[in-house]
Chains A and B, each alone.
Chain A
Amino acid sequence: MKKWYHDYGLQARMFLTMFLLAVVYLFFLAVLAQYGNIGTSGLVIFAGIFLLIQFFLSDKLVLWTMGGRIVTEQEEPRLHETVSRLCAIANLPKPKIAIVDSNVPNAFATGTSQRSAVVAVTTSLKQRLSQPELEAVLAHELSHVKNRDMLVITIASFLSTVAALLARNMLFFGAGSRDDDRKGAGAAVIIFIVSIIVWILSFLLIRALSRYREFAADRGSAIITGQPSHLVSALMTISGTIERVPSRDLREVEAMNAFFIIPAVSGDSIMNLLSTHPSLEARIRALTKMEQRMEF
């Protein structure tokens, strides 16, 4: 008996996004190979090393910037038990659990692999959500871990970062080619323009990918808990309180938006196209659809 229908639409969109991203990147690499010089390849290597370091330190960096503190089983028995039960159902190694002192109810997952993952919740989230709602949010974060979203987004962002670095570098320091012949200057202009185009396109595509991963994690949460409605009520509770918290606190956490379950900026201020998270309405619609399909 099939319980969960597959969301082929979501998978197709995700696949198309990744395909387009690959096309953009291949084009970018081809241009670099054709017109690049020592300076550009140096920059690619530099960006590679930088991203690699960032990637391997990401869990510590995120926790550090958020002020997260890893808690033991004795300190937070209920949180630990909830997570370990979900892990047993989803067959995941149990991640570390961290608590962030914050008035913004939110949760995030970080870590480069399933083994080194950290799932963090804010104190406010713990206070405001009921046990089933908290469980649904934790299952959403565990789905991010299960789908290796950190890794996927990091890999997807690599060449985008290179393009951004190249474009900025050339804007501030000129073409960078020491040979003054016209051919070199022409190549530099081409690289500059292509970098900007790649940067913009890949930025939009990565944002789209990130939103699809959110939908996928919502689905994952519903499948692990078996109760899509609990995530719906959790999302409503979180977003409801987020609109009411003072903005000073919001600005402090704004930088970490990509990892949050709900970004700490109120939805209307940013265009949907640029957003890392889908709109609340769209997420609730998708979950409600799952819930309806469950009955058949």
Chain B
Amino acid sequence: MGFLDTLLGKSKLPQPKSDKLFAMSTAYVTLNTNLGLTSNGAGICFKPLEASRFQNAELEINQLLQQSCKETNTLHNMKKDTYGYLWVILSDPDFEDLVSTIYMVSETLKDHGFGEQLLCAVFKFRGEKDVFWIYNFKQGKYYPFVPDGKKRDSSYEFRLRSIMDKELPIEKETEKWYPLWDIPI
């Protein structure tokens, strides 16, 4: 936000950056071979608006999902969580399909002018523990989230960061590694 915007108290939300999303498809190979993590679904989370135009966007996303998921055999559903955010949850054995479907949903929202409402995309992996890689659209960066009961397994998260640092654009400021509890994936 520029100086003048601050001075005049203008509120502008940053636009989402979806292009770095695809880094995950190559990084998955390393995650799989080096850490033994296997893909276990993905999701994209956004904040619904109360405008009627948003309902149109929602409808179009639903239609798009139905079409493209038929081609790729991706399972999908939409859920609203307790905070009132909408989730599109996908599961597909082919990891590439997961990434591209998530990208498609984010682009559809952007096309309708709702890109600012995108919260994040989440990729879930199964290993000795459930590992989530969360993509922050505002930063265009990934960060790891490993819930351990009610706490985070920070040491495992830092290990993930050091291993994946070269392959994924990882959020440098750890205070922006926002946790997401009860991810419905």
Contacts and interface: CB of A to CB of B under 8 A. Distances in A.
Nearest to A223: B11
Interface residues of A, number: 46
A226 B113 contact: no
B6 A226 contact: no
Given A87-B178, A93-B173, A227 B49 contact: yes
Interface in A65-82: 73-74, 77, 81-82
13 contacts: A1-B112, A81-B179, A81-B180, A85-B180, A88-B119, A89-B13, A93-B175, A131-B83, A149-B9, A152-B7, A152-B9, A226-B49, A226-B50
A18 B180 CA distance: 41
Given A146-B1, A146-B11, A89 B47 contact: yes
B119 A85 contact: yes
Contact of A84 (B50, B82, B113, B179): B179
A10 to B, nearest CB: 8
Interface of B: 1, 6-14, 47-54, 82-85, 112-114, 116-120, 136, 138-139, 150, 173, 175-176, 178-181
Give the interface centre of A3, A85, A89, A216 by most chain B CB atoms within 10 Å: A89
Given A93-B175, A226-B49, A77 B13 contact: no
Contacts of A81: 83, 179-181
Given A1-B113, A146-B11, A229-B50, A88 B178 contact: yes
B132 to A, nearest CB: 14
Contacts of B82: 131
B11 A295 contact: no
Contacts of B10: 6, 11, 216
A84 B51 contact: no
Interface in A38-97: 73-74, 77, 81-82, 84-85, 87-91, 93-94
A85 B120 CA distance: 9
A14 B47 contact: no
A216 B11 contact: yes
Nearest to A6: B10
A241 B81 CA distance: 29
Nearest to B84: A132
Given A91-B13, A147-B11, A295 B52 contact: yes
A14 B8 contact: yes
Interface string A205-222: 000000011001101100
A149 B179 CA distance: 28
A2 B115 CA distance: 11
Contacts of B9: 14, 147, 149, 152, 212-213, 216-217, 220
Contacts of B116: 3, 89, 223
Given A74-B150, A132-B84, A212-B9, A93 B176 contact: yes
A85 B83 contact: yes
A94 B8 contact: no
Contact of B113 (A2, A6, A73, A149): A2
Nearest to B51: A294
A126 interface: no
B112 A94 contact: no
Contacts of A2: 113
Nearest to B175: A93
B98 to A, nearest CB: 21
Contacts of A294: 49-51, 53
Given A94-B178, A294-B51, 13 more contacts: A15-B8, A85-B85, A85-B119, A93-B173, A131-B82, A132-B84, A213-B9, A220-B11, A226-B51, A227-B50, A291-B50, A294-B49, A294-B53
B54 to A, nearest CB: 8
A72 B47 CA distance: 25
Give the interface centre of A212, A224, A226 by most chain B CB atoms within 10 Å: A226
A226 B8 contact: no
A225 interface: yes
Contacts of A90: 13-14
Nearest to A224: B13
Contacts of B1: 146
A131 B11 contact: no
A91 B138 contact: yes
A225 B47 contact: yes
